[in-house]
């Protein structure tokens, strides 16, 4: 099946984004087996929020941001988490979709490429997953937490690597953040798991 032009345009911009980021090129090859799958759109609040309040892009990320905004109404947006896990306020300002991957708008088994949106003033608690991960920030900024590492404030064009099953978290302050995330290795189709909180003494 041929992808609609709005999907092809966003995929081309994502591919160019990957090619322009040395960390992304080092992390994974751009998948060469992508096949468009006609998935039913599903809207969340993030569908509109990405269009109206995406956060600031860089000069290099602006074309990708525009393409993703045009794509927003056509996407199968997901939450994965429940209100019990993360709270309703979080869900009202968060959403993600799988651009490419085992269950993506473009199917591949070689990597997983997701796009996540968080509104300002949110805390995405500690979580982990088998797959290795490279975050790239497309717009806005946020504070990235990683166990046994210093917090880092990242904005458009910055990246952060998360090793397999190493817990990480994200806090947004006065801006939303839009990220494009690559996964590699085992567990490409799995959902992240919230990390049990240790009791502090
Ligand atoms: Zn992660």
- Cα of 162 vs centre of ligand 1, distance in Å, is 7
Q: Give the Cα separation of 56 and 36 in Å (integer).
A: 30
Cα(162)–Cα(167) distance, integer angstroms: 8
Query: If you measure from the C-alpha of residue 125 to the centroid of ligand 1, how many angstroms do you get, rounded to a whole number?
Result: 11
What average pLDDT does range 100-119 have in this prediction?
Answer: 98
The pTM score is 0.96
Measured in Å, residue 127 CA sits from the centre of ligand 1 at 7
Distance between Cα 130 and ligand 1 center (Å): 9
Residue 199 binned pLDDT confidence (cut-offs 50, 70, 90): low
- The H or E element containing residue 16 is helix 5-20
Distances (CA, A) of 66 to 62, 63, 184: 6, 5, 26
Quote the distance between the C-alpha of residue 93 and its chain's center: 14
CA distance 36 to 70: 17
Alpha-helix runs per DSSP H in 21-168: 22-27, 45-52, 62-71, 83-86, 88-92
Please report which confidence band the pLDDT of residue 198 belongs to, taking 50, 70 and 90 as the band edges: low
Give the Cα separation of 50 and 65 in Å (integer). 9
Ligand 1 midpoint to CA 138 (Å) = 16
Pairing of strands 168-171, 106-107: unpaired
Parallel, antiparallel, or unpaired for β 35-36 and 106-107?
antiparallel
pLDDT 10s digits, 134-190: 999 999 999 999 998 999 999 999 999 999 999 999 999 999 999 999 999 999 999
DSSP 8-class letter at 196: P
What is the 8 CA–ligand 1 centroid distance (Å)?
Answer: 26
Over residues 63-88, the pLDDT tens digits come to 999 999 999 999 999 998 999 999 99
The H-or-E segment that residue 153 falls in is strand 152-155
Cα of 187 vs centre of ligand 1, distance in Å, is 12
Q: What is the pLDDT of residue 161?
A: 97
The pLDDT-based confidence of 1 (bands split at 50, 70, 90) is confident
- Given a cut of 90, whether residue 201 has pLDDT beyond it is no
Q: How far is the CA of 188 from the centre of ligand 1 (A)?
A: 11
Q: Find the 135 Cα to ligand 1 centroid distance in Å.
A: 8
CA of 97 to the centre of ligand 1 (A): 14
Q: How far is the CA of 129 from the centre of ligand 1 (A)?
A: 6
Give the distance (Å) from ligand 1 centre to CA of residue 40: 25
């Amino acid at each position: 099946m041929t992808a609609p032009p709005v999907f092809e345009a966003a995929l081309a911009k994502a591919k160019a984004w990957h090619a322009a980021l040395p960390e992304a090129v080092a992390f994974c090859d751009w998948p060469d087996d992508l096949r468009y799958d006609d998935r039913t759109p599903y809207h969340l609040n993030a569908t509109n929020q990405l269009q109206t309040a995406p956060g600031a892009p860089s000069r290099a990320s602006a074309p990708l941001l525009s393409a993703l905004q045009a794509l927003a109404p056509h996407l199968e947006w997901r939450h994965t988490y429940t209100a019990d896990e993360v709270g309703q306020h979080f869900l009202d300002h968060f959403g993600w979709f799988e651009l490419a991957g085992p269950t993506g708008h473009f199917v591949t088994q070689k990597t997983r490429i997701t796009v996540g949106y968080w509104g300002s003033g949110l805390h995405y608690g500690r979580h982990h997953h088998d797959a290795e991960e490279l975050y790239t920030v497309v717009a806005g900024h946020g504070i990235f937490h990683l166990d046994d590492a210093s917090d880092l404030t990242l904005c458009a064009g910055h990246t952060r690597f998360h090793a397999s099953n190493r817990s990480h978290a994200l806090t947004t302050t006065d801006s939303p953040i839009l990220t494009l995330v690559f996964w590699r290795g085992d567990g490409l189709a799995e959902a992240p798991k919230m990390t049990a909180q240790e009791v502090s003494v």
